[in-house]
């Protein structure tokens, strides 16, 4: 439901130090989790997300993710204005990215930019704080081993939730866990890379210059193939993107054979968010490797 202007005025008052006049509001999306709007003001245009969810730190964690991306990625990242809680709602206010059409270097720039982001490393896999992917909690307890981190902080929490919520059977839950001992030998050993964490086409937008801009991160230091695999899950990016990435930061051989393994995590996320239509894809991967 579209909110009254008084809520948006309260957000502007809370997030921006100087008085800001609201000129107009345009609804962008109104889903079951978040409402998104464009606020046009005398200080410029802003993108606002809001929700009533009990996870009151969700948008603060998103700001931290955007800030870290801005530090390490040579791509446009929306400037953060503020996050907080007003009128019983959580909000995130960021720069509005005026849209355009991809220029001739769009996919090269995205590939090179992601490769440079992935060169940012850390002593362990994970992050100093937990955060979220969409509205689901994402645990980031630091670990020296990618396989152990992938199991303990990614696959098992999501598979366990799916079982607890009745989305998968006990038999399949046990079968799913049989892939865990295989992961260490299936995935090449690499240093932790800073990941966007939710890299699909909907989270890459085009600015007025025709360049890519990253939004809606779920950051952590992980195996860089996770971002590349996720980018292939819902249609994929153009081949120029992968070629440009490989020019800067070549992948280990046979990446394509590992894509399905990495994508077990986003498939589990979608299973928990949107239901059992994502279960056949998970079963197909488990049948392939178990």
Residue 266 lies in a domain: yes
Q: How does pLDDT run across 235-266, given as a tens digit for each residue?
A: 879 999 999 999 999 999 999 999 999 999 99
Residue 100 lies in a domain: no
The residue ranking higher by pLDDT, 10 or 1, is 10
Verify that 209 and 65 share a domain, yes or no: no
Q: Which residues, at least 6 apart from 203, have a Cβ–Cβ distance to it below 8 Å?
A: 196, 214, 215, 216, 217
- Region 208-214 average pLDDT: 97
DSSP per residue over 96-151, as a string? ---B----TTHHHHHHHHHHHHHT---SSBB-SS-EEETTEEE----BS-HHHHII
Verify that 283 and 204 share a domain, yes or no: yes
Confidence band for 74, pLDDT divided at 50, 70 and 90:
very high
Under 8 Å between Cβ of 8 and 18? no
Verify that 164 and 270 share a domain, yes or no: yes
Residue 145 pLDDT > 90: yes
Verify that 80 and 124 share a domain, yes or no: no
Domain final residue pick, 95, 125, 142: 95
Domain of 78? 5-95
Q: How does pLDDT run across 3-53, given as a tens digit for each residue?
A: 668 999 999 999 999 999 999 999 998 877 889 999 999 999 999 999 988
Residues annotated as catalytic are 198
Q: Is the pTM of this model over 0.75?
A: yes
Q: Rounded to an integer, what distance in angstroms lies between the CA atom of residue 229 and that of residue 175?
A: 23
Domain count, the chain: 2
């Amino acid at each position: 439901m579209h909110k009254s202007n008084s809520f948006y005025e309260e957000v502007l008052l809370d997030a921006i130090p100087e008085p800001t006049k609201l000129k107009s509001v345009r609804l962008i999306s109104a889903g079951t989790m978040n409402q998104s709007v464009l606020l046009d003001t005398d200080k410029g245009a802003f993108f606002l997300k809001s929700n009533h969810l009990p996870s009151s730190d969700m948008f603060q964690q998103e700001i931290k993710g955007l800030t870290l991306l801005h530090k390490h990625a040579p791509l446009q990242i929306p400037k953060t204005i503020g996050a907080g809680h007003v009128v019983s709602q959580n909000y995130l206010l960021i720069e509005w990215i005026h849209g355009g059409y991809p220029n001739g270097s769009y996919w090269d720039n995205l590939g090179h930019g992601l490769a440079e982001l992935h060169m940012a490393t850390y002593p362990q896999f994970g992050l100093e704080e937990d955060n979220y992917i969409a509205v689901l909690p994402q645990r980031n307890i630091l670990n020296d081993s990618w396989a152990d981190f992938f199991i303990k902080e990614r696959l098992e929490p999501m598979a366990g939730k799916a079982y607890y919520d009745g989305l998968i059977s006990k038999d399949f839950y046990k079968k799913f866990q049989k892939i865990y001992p295989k992961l260490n030998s299936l995935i090449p050993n690499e240093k932790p890379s800073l990941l966007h964490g939710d890299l699909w086409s909907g989270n890459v937008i085009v600015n007025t210059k025709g360049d890519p801009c990253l939004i809606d991160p779920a950051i952590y230091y992980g195996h860089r193939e996770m971002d590349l695999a996720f980018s292939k899950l819902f249609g994929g990016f153009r081949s120029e993107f992968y070629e440009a990435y490989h020019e800067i930061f070549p992948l280990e051989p046979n990446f394509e054979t590992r894509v399905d393994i990495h994508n077990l995590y986003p498939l589990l996320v979608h299973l928990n968010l949107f239901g059992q239509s994502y279960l056949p894809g998970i079963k197909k991967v488990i049948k392939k490797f178990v």
